[in-house]
Structure 1
Amino acid sequence: MTNVYSFDGILVFGLLFVCTCAYLKKVPRLNSWLLSEKKGVWGVFYKAAVIGTRLHFAVALSCLIMAFYIVFFK
């Protein structure tokens, strides 16, 4: 179990947040409801979804590396 207040916990949270927002962008009802705002507090979801879709290879590779780190070194 990772601690959110540690550096690797923050990285895991960020990766999961980006992956979740990228997935929600593919769901039509949630895309129009959650990701319609591009500014403000709700704009964070939109920006994370854009990062997840444009850098999908780098995000997936980062998730694999982080999973390997947590399973074998943590």
Structure 2
Amino acid sequence: MTNVYSFDGILVFGLLFICTCAYLKKVPRLNSWLLSEKKGVWGVFYKAAVIGTRLHIAVALSCLTMAFYIIFLK
């Protein structure tokens, strides 16, 4: 189990946040409610969704690499 205050925990949290926001962008009702703001604190969700959709191959490979690291190496 990863610790939130470790570097591994921060990377896992970031990857899960990006993947979750990219998924929520595909849900129409949540897209208009959560991802409508492009600036400020709520803009972080929009920017994470954009990163997740545009760099979906890199994000998926990063998730697989992190999963392998946590399961087998840690």
Pairwise CA RMSD = 0.3
CA distance in 1, matches of 2:61, 2:55: 10
Q: Number of aligned pairs?
A: 74
Shift of 1:46: 0.1
Shift of 1:57: 0.1
Shift of 1:14: 0.1
1:16-35: CA deviation from partner (whole Å, max 9, x where unpaired): 00000000000000000000
1:7-55: CA deviation from partner (whole Å, max 9, x where unpaired): 0100000000000000000000000000000000000000000000000
Q: 5+ unaligned residues in a row in structure 2: which ranges?
A: none
Q: 5+ unaligned residues in a row in structure 1: which ranges?
A: none
Q: Secondary structure at the match of 1:38?
A: coil
Identity score, percent: 93
CA distance in 2, matches of 1:73, 1:49: 29
CA distance in 2, matches of 1:46, 1:5: 25
Q: Which residue of 1 aligns with 2:53?
A: 53
Moved over 2 A (4+): none
